[in-house]
């Protein structure tokens, strides 16, 4: 893998000509859960001027249409991209289509961790929804049902599911997300705890290859090195890009908080996290800007 420069980019325009297609993470990269980050709109305007193809790839357990409405709501119209892939949408599609060997265990009645918050991840009429873990044959983990909930709120259910040997399908591998100034747990945190309790988990979403393959198909690009993944998470965005051969740009202001007090990138801390996650971006930028 090309190791790239350790000097932070001033803007995406300096490397845009090196790539034919761009995959953008959403949360922590283009917005904070409530508002779009400064200068982000100019990034997509610049890429459109260069006739570059763009898709969004989110570990959201929501369907792409929901994420599309959210993007439009913060000022990113459909014209700025060529498609949206979400872990929830891919989960919905694969459960509907069948045939994916990894999903063979997920039959029978299902317990949903987020039935009210994420009602559309499970295809309609795909399975009987169990009201409790004791009545379920498997678990669909899209994340907590209410944003303020913690691991403690799910501990008993996770213990019961692991003890019964229920397979878990995780529709969002992210462990945490920053919403404004608050750090909230995601489905990945529940899945991590489930594994520690002895449970088995199958993941759909970054860093796993399936969603990157879907993005490449949407971009119409067969050479992964001609695609740049832009995201803020080494564990999902960058690691996933490394695995499939795409290049990557890490946004340091995101989930890892890799900015010094003067706004520059904390390269020493970045190096430590790269070693910890076994993931290395080709490029790094303080905040997403053109």
Q: Are 189 and 76 in contact (CB under 8 A)?
A: no
Indicate whether 67 pLDDT > 50: yes
Structural domain boundaries, residue 196: 102-203
Which range among 30-39, 190-199, 233-242, 248-257 shows the weakest confidence by mean pLDDT?
30-39
> Does residue 230 have a cis bond before it (omega within 30 degrees)?
no
Neighbouring CB atoms inside 10 A of 265's CB total 22
Indicate whether 3 pLDDT > 50: no
**Per-residue pLDDT tens over the stretch 35-59:** 899 999 999 999 999 999 999 999 9
Mean pLDDT of 167-191: 90
Mean pLDDT of 79-87: 96
pLDDT of amino acid 34:
82
In a domain, residue 154? The reply is: yes
The model's confidence at residue 181, banded by pLDDT at 50, 70 and 90, is low
Tokens at residue 90, please? 């891919």
Helix (H, G, I), strand (E, B) or coil at 112: strand
The model's confidence at residue 1, banded by pLDDT at 50, 70 and 90, is very low
Mean pLDDT of 275-286: 97
In a domain, residue 218? The reply is: no
Average pLDDT score, the chain: 94
In a domain, residue 53? The reply is: no
Nearest to 39 by CA among 10, 64, 81, 68: 10
Q: The whole model's pTM is what?
A: 0.94
Distance CA 33, CA 150 (A): 19
Q: Which residues pair with 9 in a beta bridge?
A: 285
The continuous run of DSSP H or E covering 248 comes out as strand 247-251
Distance (Å) of CA 69 to CA 84, 147, 234, 255? 11, 20, 27, 23
Report DSSP state, residue 6: S
Number of domains forming the structure of the chain? 1
Tokens at residue 48, please? 């459109």
Helix (H, G, I), strand (E, B) or coil at 178: strand
CATH number for position 140: 3.40.50.1000
In a domain, residue 122? The reply is: yes
In a domain, residue 81? The reply is: no
Q: Which residues pair with 178 in a beta bridge?
A: 183
Q: Are 50 and 17 in contact (CB under 8 A)?
A: yes
Which range among 21-25, 72-76, 92-96, 107-111 shows the weakest confidence by mean pLDDT?
72-76
In a domain, residue 91? The reply is: no
Indicate whether 6 pLDDT > 80: no
pLDDT of amino acid 4:
43
Which range among 72-81, 101-110, 246-255 shows the weakest confidence by mean pLDDT?
72-81
In a domain, residue 114? The reply is: yes
The model's confidence at residue 2, banded by pLDDT at 50, 70 and 90, is very low
In a domain, residue 252? The reply is: no
Q: Are 158 and 126 in contact (CB under 8 A)?
A: no
């Amino acid at each position: 893998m090309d190791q790239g420069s350790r000097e932070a980019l001033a803007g995406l325009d300096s490397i845009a000509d090196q790539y034919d297609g761009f995959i953008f993470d959403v949360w922590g990269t283009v917005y904070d859960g409530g508002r779009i980050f400064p200068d982000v709109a100019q990034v997509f305007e610049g890429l459109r001027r260069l006739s570059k193809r763009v898709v969004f790839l989110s570990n959201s357990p929501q369907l792409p249409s929901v994420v599309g409405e959210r993007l439009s709501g913060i000022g990113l119209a459909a014209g700025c991209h060529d498609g949206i892939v979400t872990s929830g949408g891919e989960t919905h599609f694969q459960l509907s289509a069948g045939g994916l060997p990894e999903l063979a265990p997920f039959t029978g009645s299902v317990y949903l961790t987020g039935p009210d918050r994420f009602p559309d991840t499970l295809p309609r009429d795909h399975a009987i929804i169990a009201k409790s873990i004791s009545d379920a044959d498997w678990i669909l983990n899209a994340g907590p049902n209410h944003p303020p909930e913690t691991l403690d709120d799910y501990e008993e259910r996770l213990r019961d599911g692991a003890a019964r040997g229920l397979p878990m399908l995780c529709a969002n591998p992210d462990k945490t997300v920053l919403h404004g100034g608050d750090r909230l747990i995601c489905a990945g945190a529940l899945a991590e705890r489930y594994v520690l309790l002895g449970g088995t988990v199958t993941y759909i979403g970054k860093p796993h290859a399936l969603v990157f393959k879907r993005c490449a198909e949407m971009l119409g690009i067969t050479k992964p090195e001609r695609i740049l993944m832009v995201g803020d998470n080494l564990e999902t965005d960058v690691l996933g890009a490394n695995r499939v051969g795409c290049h990557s740009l890490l946004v340091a202001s995101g989930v890892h908080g890799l900015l010094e007090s003067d706004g520059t990138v904390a390269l020493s801390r970045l190096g430590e996290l790269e070693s910890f996650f076994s993931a290395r971006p080709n490029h790094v930028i303080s905040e997403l800007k053109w």
